[in-house]
Amino acid sequence: MWLRCLLLPTRTHRSAQPYCLCPPSTPSSATKAPHRRFESSAAAGGRWCMIGRLFGAVSQRLPSLLSRVSLVSLVMKPKVVFVLGGPGAGKGTQCSNIVENYSYTHLSAGDLLRAERAREGSEFGQLIANYIKDGKIVPVEITINLLRKAMEETMQKDSKKFRFLIDGFPRNEDNLQGWNTVMDGKADVKFVLFFDCGNEVCINRCLERGKNSGRTDDNRESLEKRIQTYLQSTRPIIELYEKQGKVHKVDASRSVDEVFADVKAILDKED
């Protein structure tokens, strides 16, 4: 009944005017205070008209309201797990296993940088290439912008995909400070998944991988530089998170299946 208040043209005017189609109130058999009964009926009709107009306004704005709800869902903070370890520790392999078994999206800082290096027209391509070749850490502004863009694009495509494995980041104090500055309040770091592996094991794995990977940094000279950078720059970041009680350490020198069994136990407990 309350939907009947419409904007209709009157019989004597062509312009549209508010016209109430609410049924008149049933006449009362009482004869006392007719004026009071008339005022009560008019007031009730006015209230119905007001409700009708309000419903009309809400109906017109509903699509935009729903759109805003959708936008809000995209603004949900991403839940992040930093995946750290030396070169060849098996971070990428284990991240692939996690993605297959859990609702995480894998973002490799190294892969994003290499893709940007190869992208035609990239203003940072040559700079990234020089840093990677020398085994140095790429400036934090470039890496964080690539990571943030990748997370935003993933969540825009599917708002349910808000959990991320960020592999190979943060690599040093500059990375961590940059993350805290840019992403403070915009992402929640749940914990650090640390794959611990001996240097020689890591080097041998990377040399074996380099036979087919095509990566220019999978050679002994670059690997030794990368491991020194890892020991000097990344390990202190891991130790910092350990003091906060946010590091899960896994012995990554074992087989893939053995390592993943430990990873599953960690994720099952955290989830």
Q: Could you write out the DSSP letters of every residue in 24-84?
A: PPPPPS--S-HHHHHHHHHHHHHHHHHHHHHHHHHHHHHHHHHHHHHHHHHTSPPEEEEEE
Residue 217: what pLDDT? 81
CB 197 within 8 A of CB 206: no
Residue 53: what pLDDT? 60
**SS3 category, 6:** strand
Q: Which of these, 248, 206, 249, lies nearest to 224 by C-alpha position?
A: 206
Count CB-CB contacts under 10 A for residue 33: 10
Tens digits of pLDDT across the chain (271 residues):
444 443 444 444 444 444 344 444 445 444 444 444 444 555 555 655 554 564 454 445 544 433 443 343 446 899 999 999 999 999 999 999 999 999 999 999 989 999 999 999 998 999 999 998 888 889 999 999 999 999 999 999 998 999 999 999 999 999 999 999 999 999 999 999 999 999 999 999 999 988 887 787 888 888 999 999 999 999 999 999 999 999 999 999 999 999 999 999 999 998 7
- Residue that the structure tokens 């690599």 belong to: 171
Give the CA angle between residues 182, 188, 245 to the nearest 5°.
110
- Cα 255 from chain centroid? 32
Residue 5: what pLDDT? 41
Q: Which structure tokens are listed for 227?
A: 């491991």
Determine the Cα–Cα distance for residues 97 and 91; give it in Å rounded to an integer: 10
DSSP character string of 141-186: HHHHHHHHHHHHHHHHH-TT--EEEEET---SHHHHHHHHHHHTTT
Residue 42: what pLDDT? 54
Residue 68: what pLDDT? 40
Residue 218: what pLDDT? 84
Residue 206: what pLDDT? 93
Residue 40: what pLDDT? 53
